[in-house]
């Protein structure tokens, strides 16, 4: 039983918590249906959903506030006096008002997370530069003088560069003892990421470092009559190169193509691990049984970049240097049109949870906590 002139804290707590449990089940069920039945459903800013943690905190604050009010009313007067001085006290209206406000804020948080589903196809005319990245996939790129290793560091850097391409075309050449086109030059960033994920030290069977062949093959990847900015970025440790890399860079520069180099590794170098099923089984050794130490050949990479009218940057654990090179490439004259492509863009649906949230918040402030009170928006007469 409730005490006259006070809120029934226990009963209100049970009602609010049962309502929270029911709504949590409904929300989780709706989420499951959206993920399962709506393949295009996504959240643009999923991290905003951490704001939902504030909901249970608000429930706790509300119940503590009700307890504090009861103690304040108990100190204020006895039961009969409280009944006369606080007539029509309605615990159900107080709880309902709180629930409207609390879940109105929940819907606002969901709207801020940017729910999207449904797609539209858009065609974009791309204007930018053409870049071919020549990536070393020889065994020495498995050295761990960069964390986690040279190959993975280069792959992560490339992934970030792909995200920053704005209308530019990208091609990928892989090389070790021979060079191969991994990705023909394209504006399709999704395809670029897909091919990037397949690159590793297993990509080319013939070992070595044929930088010159890679530059020559990258040069052939450009349109024969292409105009505007064209660049080749060579990512390698530069060790044990087998051909005339500087000559290939000079030929590319004569054709109007800039050649940049990115050094992966450290001058001190590191051993080349041998792994089976992901487990380290030892390190590569030479014919005399000595552990092979792979070192970055910066001097050679500087000469290649100079011959190609480009720049040399050395990658570190903090920065690959690719981002800086990409900014420099922005100064090149863009091609008139690098092509057009279609892509699927998600439709924003934030307006629906936002409308629901605003409606609940308005309802929360439209009535008081007493059963004799009228909605404020109806109180137009004295």
Residue range 212-234, pLDDT digits in tens: 999 999 999 887 665 568 899 99
Note whether 177 and 242 are within 8 A (CB). yes
Q: What angle do CA 350, 355, 361 make, to 5 degrees?
A: 125
Note whether 367 and 93 are within 8 A (CB). yes
Q: How far apart are CA 46 and CA 67, in angstroms?
A: 35
Residue ranges of domains in the chain, CATH in brackets: 9-120+347-378 (no CATH), 128-336 (3.40.50.410)
Q: How far apart are CA 360 and CA 104, in angstroms?
A: 5
DSSP β-ladder status, 130-136 and 230-236:
parallel
The per-residue pLDDT for range 29-87, each reduced to its tens digit, is: 887 887 777 666 778 888 888 888 888 888 888 888 878 877 766 666 555 555 555 55
The confidence score (pLDDT) of residue 381 equals 46
Average pLDDT of span 88-98: 75
The confidence score (pLDDT) of residue 379 equals 46
The confidence score (pLDDT) of residue 240 equals 65
What's this model's pTM, rounded to 2 decimal places?
0.56
Tell me, rounded to whole angstroms, the distance of Cα 37 from its chain centroid: 24
Identify the band that residue 313 occupies on the pLDDT scale cut at 50, 70 and 90: very high
């Amino acid at each position: 039983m409730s005490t006259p002139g006070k809120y029934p804290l226990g009963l209100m707590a049970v009602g609010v918590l049962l309502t929270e449990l029911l709504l949590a089940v409904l929300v989780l069920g709706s989420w499951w249906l959206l993920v399962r039945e709506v393949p295009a459903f996504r959240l643009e800013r999923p991290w905003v959903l951490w704001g939902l943690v504030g909901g249970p905190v608000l429930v706790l604050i509300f119940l503590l506030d009700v307890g504090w009010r009861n103690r304040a009313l108990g100190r204020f007067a006895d039961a009969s006096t409280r009944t006369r001085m606080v007539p029509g006290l309605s615990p159900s209206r107080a709880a309902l008002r709180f629930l409207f406000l609390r879940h109105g804020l929940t819907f606002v948080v969901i709207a801020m997370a940017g729910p999207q589903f449904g797609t539209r196809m858009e065609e974009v005319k791309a204007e930018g530069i053409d870049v071919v990245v020549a990536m070393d996939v020889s065994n020495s790129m498995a050295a761990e003088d960069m964390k986690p290793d040279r190959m993975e560091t280069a792959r992560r850097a490339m992934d970030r560069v792909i995200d920053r391409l704005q209308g530019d075309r990208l091609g990928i050449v892989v090389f070790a003892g021979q060079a191969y086109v991994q990705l023909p030059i394209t504006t399709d960033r999704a395809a670029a990421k897909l091919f990037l994920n397949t690159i590793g030290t297993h990509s080319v069977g013939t070992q070595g470092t044929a930088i010159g062949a890679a530059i020559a093959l990258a040069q052939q990847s450009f349109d024969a009559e292409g105009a505007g900015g064209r660049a080749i970025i060579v990512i390698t440790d530069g060790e044990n190169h087998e051909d005339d890399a500087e000559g290939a860079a000079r030929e590319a520069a004569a054709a109007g193509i800039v050649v940049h180099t990115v050094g992966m590794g450290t001058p001190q170098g590191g051993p080349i691990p041998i792994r089976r099923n992901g487990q380290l089984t030892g390190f590569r050794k030479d014919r005399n049984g000595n552990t092979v130490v792979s070192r970055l050949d910066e001097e050679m990479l500087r000469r290649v970049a100079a011959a190609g009218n480009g720049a040399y940057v050395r990658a570190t654990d903090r920065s690959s240097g690719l981002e800086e090179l990409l900014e420099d490439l922005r100064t090149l004259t863009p091609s008139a049109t690098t092509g057009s492509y279609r892509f699927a863009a998600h439709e924003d649906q934030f307006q629906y949870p936002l409308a629901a949230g605003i409606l609940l918040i308005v309802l929360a402030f439209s009535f008081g906590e007493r059963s004799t009170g009228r909605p404020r928006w109806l109180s137009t007469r004295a």
